Amino acid sequence: MTLVLELMILLLLQFEGTSGKTINLYARAGDQVLLPRNASSSSHSCSKVDWLHRKEKIASEKVVMGGIVVQSSAGASRLSVSSDCSLLIRNIMDEDAGLYVFIESDISSFVYLNILSISPSPPDVHGNIKLQCSLSSLDDNVSCQHSSILWVDETGTDQLGEKADFESGGQKKCVSVLTVKHQRGNNQRLTCQFVKNNNVKIDAVYVPASTDLNHSNTFIITGAVVGVLLMMLAVVTTVLFKRRKAKKTEDPKNETDLPKSPHHNSELTYATVIHLRPNTSAKRTVNKEEAEVTYSAVRVK
């Protein structure tokens, strides 16, 4: 299958000028891009539409067959076919750069997708960061001269970067490396531009992540303070618990366990009752000691 695709692309490239138009698109890594179908096609169905992707000069693959994304192709989860058979690529990466061929029966068109990206290195011991701005392309017409990739700050002042260009598997990369000092609170934006024929084709912006570092430090300090407070609370709780336990050991009996005295917290209530017999003559003299009975009631508090 790979050999057939190679032959098909080579044949199409030979007749590129007559078989269809060629488009150059520039995009940033992380964006989404729509590769247009051949405008001369009048079909309203995508059932006969194929898309080929050639990201290296030695390898090609079919990413759309009969209007349907080939799930075994690289990055299939980020590909979709629009209603007009154009190819949509989401969250594009450097590996998506290359040549895309639209095929429908005897109609074809070519789209070169060039991707610009910025990759920062971790800070070194001196706090310096190397920013690598690169343009990935398979187009032979894309040159990598010293003025192809430029760095500018917020004021528009040019920043001097180290130029480099190399090829990986036939894919060309035009690279410029800029070394910057990483400082907290420094949110100065730096812009990388790819320039062709004195025109800026695409640019990408880099913002130092110093604010993220400040937030991280704040979270770390807050976490440490909370940890110390929790530890102190645990120590105080343990000390109070031990003291209470020791006090109970010294005085094992509670007041509720002590025997109560009959006169402890009690009140005596006295009442005198005079008993008169109804049949007793009024003339009879009754001894007071015989007629009086004294009762007492004890109420315990």
For the domain that residue 20 is a member of, what is the CATH number?
Answer: 2.60.40.10
Residue 77 shares a structural domain with residue 125: no
How far is Cα 9 from Cα 87, in angstroms, rounded to an integer? Answer: 18
Please give the average per-residue pLDDT across 224-242, as a whole number: 72
The residue ranking higher by pLDDT, 98 or 7, is 98
Residues in the chain: 301
Least Cα distance to 127 among 178, 177, 183, 207 occurs for: 183
Structural domain ending residue among the three candidates 115, 132, 159: 115
Quick one: what percent of the chain has pLDDT higher than 70? 62
Q: pLDDT tens digits, residue range 22-53? A: 899 999 999 999 999 877 766 678 998 999 99
Write down the mean pLDDT value for the chain.
Answer: 75
Whether the full predicted model's pTM is greater than 0.85, yes or no, is no
Cα–chain center distance at 249: 56
The residue ranking higher by pLDDT, 63 or 105, is 63
Q: Is residue 221 part of a domain?
A: no
Please give the average per-residue pLDDT across 86-108, as a whole number: 92
Residue 187 shares a structural domain with residue 205: yes
Hey, is 164 helix, strand or coil?
strand
Least Cα distance to 299 among 257, 256, 270 occurs for: 270
Q: Is residue 64 part of a domain?
A: yes
Residue 111 shares a structural domain with residue 6: yes
How far is Cα 108 from Cα 49, in angstroms, rounded to an integer? Answer: 10
Q: Is the pLDDT of residue 300 over 70?
A: no
Q: Is residue 216 part of a domain?
A: no
Cβ pair 103, 50 in contact under 8 A = yes
Least Cα distance to 27 among 103, 88, 74, 81 occurs for: 88
Structural domain ending residue among the three candidates 169, 184, 211: 211
Q: Is residue 259 part of a domain?
A: no
Q: Is residue 98 part of a domain?
A: yes
Residues 6+ apart with CB under 8 A from 134: 94, 116, 117, 119, 149, 173, 174, 175, 176
The residue ranking higher by pLDDT, 225 or 72, is 72
Which pLDDT does position 125 carry in this prediction? 86
* C-alpha to C-alpha distances, 160 to 56, 63, 95, nearest whole angstrom: 31, 40, 27
Which pLDDT does position 219 carry in this prediction? 44
Residue 65 shares a structural domain with residue 121: no
The residue ranking higher by pLDDT, 248 or 3, is 248
Q: Is residue 229 part of a domain?
A: no
Direct distance between the N- and C-terminal alpha carbons of the chain, in angstroms, rounded to an integer: 105
Q: Is residue 249 part of a domain?
A: no
Which pLDDT does position 159 carry in this prediction? 85
Q: How confident is the model at residue 127 (pLDDT cuts 50, 70, 90)?
A: confident
Range(s) of the domain holding residue 149:
117-211
Which pLDDT does position 157 carry in this prediction? 86
Structural domain ending residue among the three candidates 211, 229, 257: 211
Q: Is the pLDDT of residue 214 over 50?
A: no
Please give the average per-residue pLDDT across 121-133, as a whole number: 88
Rounded to 5 degrees, φ, ψ at 214 are -65, -40
* C-alpha to C-alpha distances, 64 to 53, 56, 82, 240, nearest whole angstrom: 9, 18, 12, 73
Residue 107 shares a structural domain with residue 28: yes
Residue 174 shares a structural domain with residue 111: no
Residue 74 shares a structural domain with residue 142: no
Residue 9 shares a structural domain with residue 111: yes
How many structural domains is the chain composed of?
Answer: 3
Which pLDDT does position 91 carry in this prediction? 96
Q: Is residue 53 part of a domain?
A: yes
Which pLDDT does position 205 carry in this prediction? 93
Residue 111 shares a structural domain with residue 122: no
Which pLDDT does position 212 carry in this prediction? 43
Residue 110 shares a structural domain with residue 9: yes
Residue 98 shares a structural domain with residue 193: no
Residue 76 shares a structural domain with residue 103: yes
How far is Cα 56 from Cα 170, in angstroms, rounded to an integer? Answer: 5
